[in-house]
Amino acid sequence: MRAFAVILGPAARRGLSRLMPVAHHLRAAGARIRVEYTQTTEQARRCAAEAVDAGEVVVAAGGDGTIRLLAGAVVDAGGLLGVIPAGRGNDLARQLLLPHSPTEVADLLLHGPVRQLDVLRVAGQTIIGSVYAGIDAAANELANRSRLPASLVYPTTGLRALLRWPRTRYTITLDGRTEQVHAYTVVAANCGYYGGGLHVAPAARPDDGALEVVVIRHASRLLFPVALWRMRTGSHVRLRQVTSYRGSSVTVRADRPVAVYGDGDPVCRAAEVHVEVRTGALRIIAG
């Protein structure tokens, strides 16, 4: 039977509340589960590596940022990751169709199959969902300071960021092909969802060895709210101002340093970033 180590950070109230009923079902089934409380990123990574060495499944009880943090450590240590969805966005859980009820989550952790997912590498970090450099990253900076629920925070901060966004030129090099474009954002996606359920890259799959690059070109400021609204269903990709590319790596250069985010957390602020796929690098319990 699998044994589990749940790694919780200092801001883990939501994760803890979601964990407790799941832990009850796991223990009732005879599984061994322990909880590690951590105060820093490095401590969380170290605890995850130690859990892998002990043969335990590392469990992320949180949102996409928590999953990203622990997934990087699991990939490096060659371990296995489990997820208890407990975040504001839960985009990876949405992509993988992970359950949310405590009984179903516990059953999946105990008996679910192991999948091998691709990950993205950028600026020395491991990202599971997507890397984005543009107005959405600027909105993410605002969202991280907001206390609004996910259904309101991402659209609201997106509009606020739009009002401040200057015209920006990008040079995009994808598997040796280069294009220059003025754009609102460039998204390198391993998974289809970001921003709390926006279907930014409908063609993206986390286990196909490729990334999907979605570019929303600059146009009237009325375009971005329309594209944002249509992202709910993925129909924005039919707008003529939206272009998608597919490849194994991409380099994005902006005409000025811009915020670069991955899975809801800051990656860097830079004028150039390189993103590449590591095929099948993450072992995760998922149906």
- Residues with catalytic annotation? 265
Sign of CA dihedral 139, 142, 148, 149: positive
Antiparallel, parallel or unpaired: β 32-37 and 3-8: parallel
Q: Which two tokens stand for residue 186?
A: 């460039």
- Tell me how far apart the alpha carbons of residues 33 and 204 are, in angstroms, rounded to a whole number: 34
- Tell me how far apart the alpha carbons of residues 85 and 141 are, in angstroms, rounded to a whole number: 22
- Tell me how far apart the alpha carbons of residues 205 and 192 are, in angstroms, rounded to a whole number: 7
- Tell me how far apart the alpha carbons of residues 249 and 188 are, in angstroms, rounded to a whole number: 9
